[in-house]
């Protein structure tokens, strides 16, 4: 038998344990997406005589392969309901929540600004992955003086346990809406998206009126934990998929042990525009058999024809594999701007025809089988 020499003692400590690491490792107001160690390893540095959180691998000392440690979540009762919560709070009687943090997600070379916004709902507005919150920005509706603004819907970008894993927060992925003068081509500061700018300008402690949750189209089917899920997003349309993937790969949820395939296609302008890229890259490293991740960077990549690379080009690139997965029962999801769908539909129709199939018949069957999920805005 070989001798084992241990120079350091490393213990995997799940977040939420009695060692009270949750607050220090996952303080939401300072959530840092550059930090890839969600389930940290506590290293006892004997020389320094202190405790430090480091992103380290735990050496497997058993014959069986140790699985990647996942984060403890609570309360697990959030997984007990058989039906999703719907419209607990309505526009006439919204819930007043509190902004926890606002963080810019994109780099300096990204066109526009996208923010990750964490909202504390105190556990009073529960939701499922794939649902949306409504937000009522402060002020009067200019079209209806004396009345509040209309509700704006935003896909929730976290699991039901939230970024703090305690079931009390929800996260939104919001791109600041700005307008450009068609004559000068310059940004017109007098015209701004009312709700997106309110959210992106918010500070911790600010109050926010929310409604919902709403939506059933994008709920993650969990009846088969070994199913295949193909997710296609442009920009902030990645929000629900971030929730799916955290549930699949980050959180320890006793009632949902994912063993299937999750395949994410994300279309953005350039590398600086990628959203939650470190999270997705970590899943790729930790779960190579269960996760695939393809990016379409329109300003940096070329498609086969030499034009800009969009998500539909990536779909065409892997079309044979995608169609086979769909034939075997895979779910396919689309989320993002409405403008993404015509190009995607044209690509899928072309591929179907090349395969000697009718796209209209195939699409009808996918919808009938509840494999087709679309939420665009």
Q: 276 catalytic, yes or no?
A: no
Under DSSP, the state recorded for 112 is: S
The CA-atom distances, in angstroms, between 306 and each of 100, 300, 301 are 44, 12, 9
- Which class for 193: exposed (0-12), middle (13-18), buried (19 or more C-beta within 10 A)? middle
> Per the residue annotation, which of 155, 202, 298, 319 is the catalytic one?
155
CA nearest neighbour of 377 among 191, 273, 240: 240
3-state DSSP helix/strand/coil percent for the chain, to nearest 5? 25, 30, 45
- For the purposes of burial, counting CB atoms within 10 Å of the CB of 132, is it exposed (0-12), middle (13-18) or buried (19 or more)? buried
Provide the angle, in degrees to the nearest 10, between the axes of the packed helices 340-354 and 319-327. Answer: 80
| CA 182 to each of CA 111, 177, 179, 188, 338: distance values in angstroms, whole numbers, following the listed order | 17, 16, 9, 10, 22
With CA atoms as reference, report the closest residue to 44 among 11, 6, 19: 11
Catalytic-labelled residue, pool 129, 251, 316, 375? 375
Q: Among 322, 310, 155, which residue's Cα sits nearest to residue 243?
A: 155
Pairing of strands 114-120, 169-175: antiparallel
Pairing type for strands 140-141 and 178-180 reads: unpaired
CA pair distance 300, 48, nearest whole angstrom: 45
Beta bridge partners of 211: 134
Whole-angstrom Cα distance, residue 137 to residue 77?
A: 32
3-state secondary structure of 207: strand
CB-side neighbour CA atoms (13 Å) of 210 = 30
Catalytic status, residue 283:
no
Q: Among this protein's residues, is 195 annotated catalytic? A: no
Q: Pick the catalytic residue: 89, 127, 133, 154? A: 154
Q: Is 180 a catalytic residue?
A: no
Evaluate whether 372 touches 363 at the Cβ level (below 8 Å). Answer: yes
155 is a catalytic site residue: yes
259-296 core/surface letters (b: 16 or more CB in 10 A; e: else): eebbbbbbbbbbeebbbbbebbebbeebbeebbbbebb
| Residues forming the active site | 154-155, 335, 375, 377
């Amino acid at each position: 038998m070989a001798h084992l020499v241990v120079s350091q003692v490393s213990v995997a400590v799940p977040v939420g344990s009695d060692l009270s690491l949750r607050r220090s490792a996952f303080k939401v107001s300072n959530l840092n997406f550059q930090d890839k160690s969600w389930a940290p390893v506590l290293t006892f540095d004997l020389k320094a005589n202190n405790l430090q959180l480091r992103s380290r691998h735990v050496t497997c000392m058993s014959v069986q392969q140790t699985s990647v440690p996942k984060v403890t979540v609570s309360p697990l009762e959030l997984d007990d309901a058989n039906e999703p919560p719907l419209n607990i709070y309505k526009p006439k009687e919204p819930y007043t929540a509190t902004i926890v943090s606002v963080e810019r997600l994109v780099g300096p070379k990204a066109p526009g600004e996208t923010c990750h916004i964490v909202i504390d709902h105190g556990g009073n507005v529960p939701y499922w992955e794939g649902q949306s919150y409504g937000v009522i920005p402060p002020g009067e509706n200019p079209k209806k003086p004396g009345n509040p603004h209309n509700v704006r819907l935003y896909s929730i970008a976290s699991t039901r346990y939230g970024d703090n894993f305690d079931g009390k927060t929800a996260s939104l992925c919001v791109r600041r809406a700005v307008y450009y003068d068609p004559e000068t081509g310059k940004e017109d500061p007098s015209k701004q998206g009312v709700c997106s700018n309110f959210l992106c300008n918010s500070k911790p402690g600010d109050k926010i009126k929310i409604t919902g949750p709403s939506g059933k189209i994008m709920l993650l089917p969990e009846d088969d934990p070994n199913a295949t899920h193909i997710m296609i997003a442009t920009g902030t349309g990645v929000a629900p998929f971030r929730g799916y993937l955290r549930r699949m790969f980050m959180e320890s949820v006793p009632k949902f042990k994912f063993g299937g395939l999750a395949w994410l296609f994300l279309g953005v302008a350039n590398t600086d525009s990628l959203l939650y890229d470190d999270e997705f890259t970590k899943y790729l490293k930790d779960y190579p058999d269960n996760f695939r991740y393809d990016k379409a960077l329109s300003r940096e990549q070329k498609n086969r024809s030499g034009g800009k690379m969009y998500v539909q080009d990536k779909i065409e690139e892997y079309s044979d594999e995608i169609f086979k997965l769909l034939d075997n029962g895979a779910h396919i999801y689309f989320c993002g701007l409405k403008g993404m769908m015509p190009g995607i539909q044209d690509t899928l129709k072309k591929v179907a025809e090349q395969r000697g199939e009718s796209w209209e018949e195939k699409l009808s069957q996918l919808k009938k089988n509840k494999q087709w999920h679309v939420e665009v805005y």
